[in-house]
Amino acid sequence: MESTKNSDIRANNRKRIVNALFRQGQMTKQELAQRLNISLPTANLLLKELADKGLVTNGKVMDSTGGRKPVCIMPVYDAKFSIGAEVSSQGLRIILLDLGSNVIAREYFPYNMENTEAYWKKVNAVIMEFARRHMNRPDMLLDIGITLEVPMQDGRIIQKKEMDEKDRIDLDMAASCFELPVKFRNSIKMEATAQTWAQDRWENFVFVSLGGHVSGAIVYNGAVLEFSNINGEFGSIIINKERPYEKIEDYYTTRALCERAGVDHIQEFFDRIERGDGGCTDLWKDYLDGLSVFLHNLYCIFGWKIVVGGRISPFLEPYRDMLNQQLREMDAYRQNTEGYLEISRLGEYGAAVGAAMLPVDEFLEFGYDNL
C-alpha cells in the first residue's frame, strides 16, 4: 500500500514538472523545486526520467551567485506534434502544433468539402504529405483532429430536420479513407477552445464564429460550456418567421454576402470594396449595422465580452473601433465605456488550432508516461 502511495506521489510530481516547464517555460532545477515545493534530489531524479524520454534537455548556463553555475532545464517542444484540420465549404485548412502549442506550419487548400470517398482520400493524402514535409519521423505525431461545421454529440453528427446535402457526412466512410486514426470534432467548439488559449487570461466571454455558418460558444471560467450540444447554433436564431423562418444565418455568413454581391469568394467581395464598388460597399455597411444589433443582443443576455472569429474576422479588424462605438450607443446603461467586442487573432485557422491543441493537452497531462 505504501509503495503504491509513493508511486502515485512520484507520478503526480512528474506531471507537475512537465506542466510547469511546458506551460511556463525553461527554469533551473532549483527554481522548479522551489516553485513545486519538492526536494532538489526529487527534482533531479524526475528530470532524469523525463530527459530519458526526450522531453527535457539542458539549456543555457546561468550566472553564478556563488558555487556551481545553475543550468536551465528546457522543455523539448518538438518531441511531439499534433495536426488539426478544418474541412468546410470554404476549403481545407491544416495546422501543425508542437508541445508548446506553437504553430509550426499552416496551409490552405481550395478543396471544398464533399461527402465522397474521393474527397476524403484527397484530404488524407494532403494531410500525410503535410506531415511528411514538416516532421522528421511519423512516430512524432500525436493525433489528427478533423473539424466539421455541423452540430456534433459524442463524435456523431446531430441531424437537423432540414439539412443541406453538403452537411450530410458519412463519418464511418470518411474515417475509413485515412491511413491513421482521426477524431472528428465540431468546428466551433474547437475554435472556442483555441480562443481560450489565445486569450491567455481567465475570463468569461461569448465566442461568435462568422464563416460558412454563424455559430458560437459560451466560455465560462476558461472552459467551453457543454450544457447543450446545439447551444452554439447562433445561426439558427429566427429573426423573421414570416419569410419563412428567416434566420441569422441567412444574412451573416460568407455565403450570404457572396450571393448578395454576385461573387464566388469572400476575398473577391472585399477586393471589389477596395476598388470602390458601390454595391459591395453598401452591402458591407448593412452587414456591419445588422451585425452590431446581433452582438448587442448577445451582450444583453450575457453581459460578457464578445470575441468574433471565423473566416470573416480578419476583414472585421479594421472596423472594430467603429463597431464598438455602435455597441456603446446601443447600451442603455452605458456601463462598458471601452467597448466589449474583440476580434480573434486566430482568424480562419481557429478551428484547426483547437483540434490540434486537445491532443497536446492530453499528452502533457498523462500521455508522456507511455513513451
Residue 292: the pLDDT is 94
The pLDDT-based confidence of 307 (bands split at 50, 70, 90) is: very high
Helices 320-330/278-302 angle, 10° precision:
50
Residue 332 has pLDDT above 90, yes or no: no
Q: Which helix (H) or strand (E) element contains residue 30?
A: helix 29-36
Query: Is pLDDT at 223 greater than 60 in this prediction?
Result: yes
Whole-number pLDDT of residue 271: 95
- pLDDT at residue 2, rounded to an integer: 46
Question: What gap in Å lies between CA 318 and CA 284, rounded to an integer?
Answer: 13
Q: Specify the pTM.
A: 0.82
3-state secondary structure of 199: helix
What pLDDT does 23 receive?
81
For cell 481567465, name the residue.
Answer: 202
Q: How far apart are CA 167 and CA 114, in angstroms?
A: 9
Residue 115, number of CB atoms within 10 A of its CB: 15
Block residue for cell numbers 488550432: 353
- Pairing between β-strand 141-148 and β-strand 183-186 as defined by DSSP bridges: parallel
Query: How far is the C-alpha of 92 from the C-alpha of 350, rounded, in Å?
Result: 13
Separation CA 73–CA 29 (nearest Å): 7
Grid coordinates representing 318? 479594421
Residue 105 is placed in which grid cell? 506550419
Rounded to whole angstroms, the Cα distance separating 249 from 133 reads: 38
- What CA–CA distance (Å, rounded) separates 72 from 74? 6
Distance CA 6, CA 12 (A): 10
Closest Cα partner for 207 from 228, 193, 227, 186? 193
Using CA atoms of 112, 118, 124, 127 in order, give the dihedral in degrees to the nearest 10. -40
Position 10, amino acid: R
Q: Say what the pLDDT of residue 166 is.
A: 61
- Tens-digit pLDDT profile for residues 13-44: 888 888 888 888 888 888 899 999 999 999 89
Determine the Cα–Cα distance for residues 50 and 11; give it in Å rounded to an integer.
11
The answer to whether 86 and 92 are in contact (CB under 8 A) is yes
pLDDT in tens, 116-160: 999 999 999 999 999 999 998 888 999 999 998 877 766 677 766
Cβ count near 37 (within 10 Å) = 8
